[in-house]
Each structure stands twice: as C-alpha cells, then as structure tokens.
Amino acid sequence: MNPQAAQAIDLLIGARWIIPVEPHGVVLEDHAVAVANGVVVDLLPVADAAAKYAPRERIDLGAHALIPGLINAHTHSPMTLLRGLADDLPLMTWLQRHIWPVEAKVIGADFVRDGSELAIVEMLRGGTTTCNENYFFPDVFAAACRRMGFRAVAGLPVIEFASAWAATPDEYFERALAVHDELKGDALVACAFAPHAPYTVSDSSFERIRTLSDQLDIPVHLHLHETAQEVEDARSGHGARPFARMQGLGLVNDRLIAVHMTQLTDAEITACAEAGVSVVHCPESNLKLASGFCPAEKLRRAGVNVAIGTDGCASNNDLDMLGELRTAALLAKGVANDASAFDAAYALRAATLDGARALGLADRTGSIEPGKSADLAAVRLDVPETQPLYHPVSQLVYAASRRQVSDVWIAGRRRLADGVLCDVDVEAVLAKAGRWRERIAAIH
C-alpha cells in the first residue's frame, strides 16, 4: 500500500524545545508546529512532521525555545513617547504635575498613532504578540495594530474630565460604542471598557459600564487599589475601600481586569477568586513608583487568575515582558517569603495563557495548541548568557533577555525574522519619535 500523501500546509516550524504552556510545565524536545491558515493544526515530533506534512515554508530552530507569544496585559502604548520624562516620583506627583499637564498639550490622533507604532515595534522585538491597551483614541490605536499585524484589546476610555478624545461622559460612551461597533468581528483587535480608576470615574459612569459590559460581553479594564493613598482617600471620600465600592456597583465579576491590586485584604482576595476576577500584576511600575506590592502568590494560591503587564513606558520604562515576568517571579518570592512561590512555569503561564484568559482570548491565543492562532515567539538559548542549559523554562524566566528573541509570528504571519522586523519601516518610526521628543522637551 502506498503511504498517504503528505498534507499541504503553510508553515512548519521545528524547534529544539517547544513549551506549549498547556499542558502546564511540559517541555517538548525536537518537536514541530504545523500551521495552516494562521492556525496551529498539529504539534508533533520533528521526525513525524517531515513525513506527515508538505509545508510551503519550513523553518528549523535548532537552538531555540518556541513559546506562545507573550501577552502584555496592561499597557498605555502611546506613552512610549513620554519614556523617561518624569522619573523618580511618586504616583500622584508624577501624574498630576508632569504626565497629565504634558498630555493635555500633546494628545491627539498623531500622538497616539506614532506612540503606538513605537510601542508595537518594541513589543514585537521582545516576543510580545498581544497587548491590553488603556488610552485615548482607541480607534487610532486599533488602526496601528491592524496595519502592523499586531493583536490587541483596545480600551474604550471613560474618565470624568474632558480630553482631546471626548468632552463629557456622554461623549465618552458615544465614542466608545462607535469604536466597539467598528471593531466587531475584527480578527486582531477586540475591545474592553477602560475606566481610568475609581478616583476619576463616577458611580453613574461605572453603572453604565456595568450594564454595557454585560450587554456587549466585553471586559472592564480598571486600575484598582494601586496605592495605599488611593484606598485611604476612597475611605474618606466614599466611606468604603475602592474594591467594596466596585462590589456595590456590580463590577466585581469575571469580566473585571483589575490592574495593580497592591493593597488587598484576605477577604478581598477570596472575593476575587469567587467572582472570577483577573488581576494584572505590574511589578516594575509598582516598584518604580513605590506603589506597593501585589500579593501575587497569595492570589495564585487562592485560585485568582493572575496576568502580567508592563504598564506604560512613562512609569516602567520599557515594554519588556521577559524582563517583567522575571521581576514578577522574583518579587513574589520576596513578598511571600517563599522561594517556591510563583515558580518559572507559572510565571511563563501568567505572561501567556493566563493573560489570554484575563482578556477573554484564551480560546484563540496564549498556548500552542491545535485550533489556536499561531501566535509564537522563538527565543535563542545557545548564547553564553543562557548556557549551560539544564531546564529550558527556568532559563527563559531567570536568564534569558528580550535580545534573544529571534522570530515572532502572529496568526501565522511572520512579524520578526532572525531579529529583523517584517514590513515595518523602523527608521521612520524612530524619526517620528525624535520629533516628538523635541516638541515635548520644549513644553515640559
């Protein structure tokens, strides 16, 4: 009997190690990922793949770990243009005296477009394939993502003060719904409501968000319990901690993406677990602003879904998810006083599949499984900084850097090839960033 003809596919990627994330902690040696129409169709040993598939393109990564693309679960992408503008300051001083006044003078479609492009370039070069965005002009941000082939959740901003995006609460909601309708069914960009924080959003706006989130089945992306001062001010002004206020408004549910969460009681952690809240841990921004420590290991042990985000470049100052997940793992150990806390496999999961879960995208990305989008990143591990190698996952988390990311695919489309961005004019992106530096430096 003649052997069955090999199946035609678009892409076959063989790697020394594949870390699919699901099943948890598994490392597959000398395996390959088969991709057709942008979707993973198989994951199998390299030797078997050669006989089973006839790929249009074949890539062999003999010294690499292939992982799901990293998911940055909290970003303010246009703020790349404010990187390093006002460092070494506490949160409210940083916001009220520096960031907000500058933003008021520069925010517009051009600022968001140019800053988003710079952010996407940085994220792609570091192996990030998806981000959860929270900023103004989400339509412009979404257009940049589509143009550059980048996956994202675009935040629909709601805040009580006027901005270049909207003048009144009603206008914020009108524009939010228009962007949501425009992006409905988009292959790369989804939506979430993005009320800024409890101290900048009214009860009536939160009630509208809760109703619309239920109706549209989209997440709510919210800064919450970022600092002790925020909690104390809320108790004085509202008579309740911000989390309790959100509970009373019906927002503590499985659509809530609660960012920072550095100030939590055991009862609040239990409530998050019971309600299905996702918490986004942004360790480097919290450290830099001295905002406090998210109890990441306590949350994990309670069963809360914990994702990882960088925050914006004005407070981090980078969008380096490999660096962020390393910091998250190390900080969690110190906070928990437990060297086994937030172990390497869990840290990688928090930066991939659990990030996808937080964003409502776990059915399409976050792990390397048949049926999911081929969102992939290859990290070279044969360099001196990651040798000798005993455990690939530990090496990724504790030793590797984003400079070792060599290749990235989103929905099967190659976005980074051997360290070089595909279909992106990096010099033009940098030139625009330089012009913004001159303009912003002149007004700050």
The residue assigned the tokens 């319990």 is: 225
- 220 is a domain residue: yes
CATH number for the domain spanning 268: value is 3.20.20.140
Q: Are residues 100 and 221 in the same domain?
A: yes
Q: Could you state, in chain order, the average pLDDT of each consecutive group of 10 residues for the chain (444 residues)?
A: 78 98 98 98 97 97 98 98 94 91 96 98 98 98 98 98 96 98 97 97 98 98 97 95 98 98 98 98 97 98 98 96 98 98 98 98 98 98 98 98 98 98 98 98 94
Q: Are residues 89 and 19 in the same domain?
A: no
Q: Are residues 216 and 93 in the same domain?
A: yes
The last residue of a domain, from among 296, 324, 359? 359
- How many structural domains is the chain composed of? 2
Q: Are residues 175 and 267 in the same domain?
A: yes
Q: Are residues 45 and 106 in the same domain?
A: no
pLDDT at 2: 44
Q: Are residues 165 and 23 in the same domain?
A: no
Q: Are residues 283 and 138 in the same domain?
A: yes
Q: Are residues 147 and 292 in the same domain?
A: yes
- Global confidence as pTM: 0.97
Q: Are residues 168 and 46 in the same domain?
A: no
Q: Which residue, among 165, 64, 27, has the nearest Cα to 408 in the 3D structure?
A: 64
- 442 is a domain residue: no
- 80 is a domain residue: yes
- 441 is a domain residue: no
- 423 is a domain residue: no
CATH number for the domain spanning 61: value is 2.30.40.10
Find the domain containing 52 and state its range.
7-68+374-411
Going from the C-alpha of 425 to that of each of 229, 268, 406, the distances in angstroms are: 43, 47, 18
Instruction: Say how far apart CA 184 and CA 142 lie, in whole Å.
Output: 12
Greatest CA span in the chain, whole angstroms? 81
Q: Are 321 and 128 in contact (CB under 8 A)?
A: yes
- 367 is a domain residue: no
Going from the C-alpha of 419 to that of each of 96, 149, 219, the distances in angstroms are: 39, 17, 34
The last residue of a domain, from among 359, 391, 420? 359
Q: Are residues 158 and 242 in the same domain?
A: yes
pLDDT at 91: 86
- 249 is a domain residue: yes
pLDDT at 414: 98
- 435 is a domain residue: no
Joined tokens for residue 125: 């070069």
Q: Are residues 151 and 260 in the same domain?
A: yes
Q: Are residues 270 and 402 in the same domain?
A: no
